[in-house]
Amino acid sequence: MSLETLPHLEPQRREFAAMPNSRLRLLALTTDNLHHRALALVYLLGTDRPGHALPAHRGEPGLVFDLLDELGVAPTTLAICREGHKKTGEALPPLVALLALENGLRAETTNDPFPPETLIGDCPGWALDMFTREGKAALTRLLSTHAGIAGMASSLIPKPQRVRFLGQVLFRVEGGVLANRVGGDLADRLHAQLMFDTLGVEPHHAVQALDLMRGDLPLLNRIRKTIMKEADHA
């Protein structure tokens, strides 16, 4: 999530975590900064659970949907997002409701650039991402090759973070692409931020990393096939 990684939000991530919920609510109602409003909303939802990327804050989720109602989210949108949060416990549904207030959508759709889909056994290659054991193993092996993306990671990223870096780059060129993307000015800006400003490297390096990963996908898929065969014979 961009809120967790955008460099310019680092002071707010610390500051907002220390605020009482009443102040977070007031901030979300009065600020004109979309990122600050969204971050306040996430803290109101609560970040005091194991594994959360943001500093721990005990929230009041019930306040979030009252807040979204006050901001003017349409009742149907609010009901859908409330149910989504109830079922998943994730921040995404309330954030979608917030964005529904902000983004004027264009009528036409666009397609992201899709890499050729390759089957790894019975599984599409994009399913073997960094969140699967086999996918993470494939990215680890890719780092030990002469692949361009491996060389970039070795030169720019601390060793403990390299597999995660490759996984994030891979998501941007494979698992996270969309057909029939409905965009607007705000959606385009946020998507560009996600693609190029949240990888932990300079934006021009992010552009290069995406290009390198696209070029190295055939090698990664060969590594995936080897790992899946090894798993079958284990």
Query: Does residue 114 lie within any of the structural domains?
Result: no
pLDDT digits (tens, 9 = 90+) for 160-210: 999 999 999 999 999 999 999 887 888 888 889 999 999 999 999 999 999
Residue 119: phi, psi to the nearest 5? Answer: -85, 130
- 70 and 148 together in one domain: no
Residue 207 resides in a domain: yes
Read off the pLDDT of each residue in 128-147 and give the average, rounded to a whole number: 96
Q: What DSSP line would sit under 82-114, residue for residue?
A: HHHHHHH--SHHHHHHHHHHH-PEEEEEE-PPP
Q: Are residues 88 and 144 in the same domain?
A: no
Q: Is residue 113 part of a domain?
A: no
Average pLDDT over residues 113-140: 93
152 is a domain residue = yes
Same-domain status, 87 and 31: yes
Q: Are residues 123 and 224 in the same domain?
A: yes
Q: What percent of the chain has pLDDT over 90?
A: 73
Tokens 């399913």 map to which residue?
Answer: 127
The last residue of a domain, from among 77, 102, 127: 102
Domain that holds residue 202: 119-232
Whether residue 109 is contained in a domain is answered as no
* Per-residue pLDDT, 186: 83
Residues 135 and 180 in one domain: yes
Residues 143 and 215 in one domain: yes
* Total-model pTM: 0.76
Please give the Cα distance from 150 to 135 (Å, whole number). 15
pLDDT tens profile 1-58: 678 888 889 999 999 999 999 999 999 999 999 999 999 999 999 998 887 889 899 9
pLDDT of residue 214: 96
User: Could you give the number of structural domains in the chain?
Assistant: 2
Residue 100 has a pLDDT of 83
Residue 110 in any domain: the answer is no
Q: Is residue 89 part of a domain?
A: yes
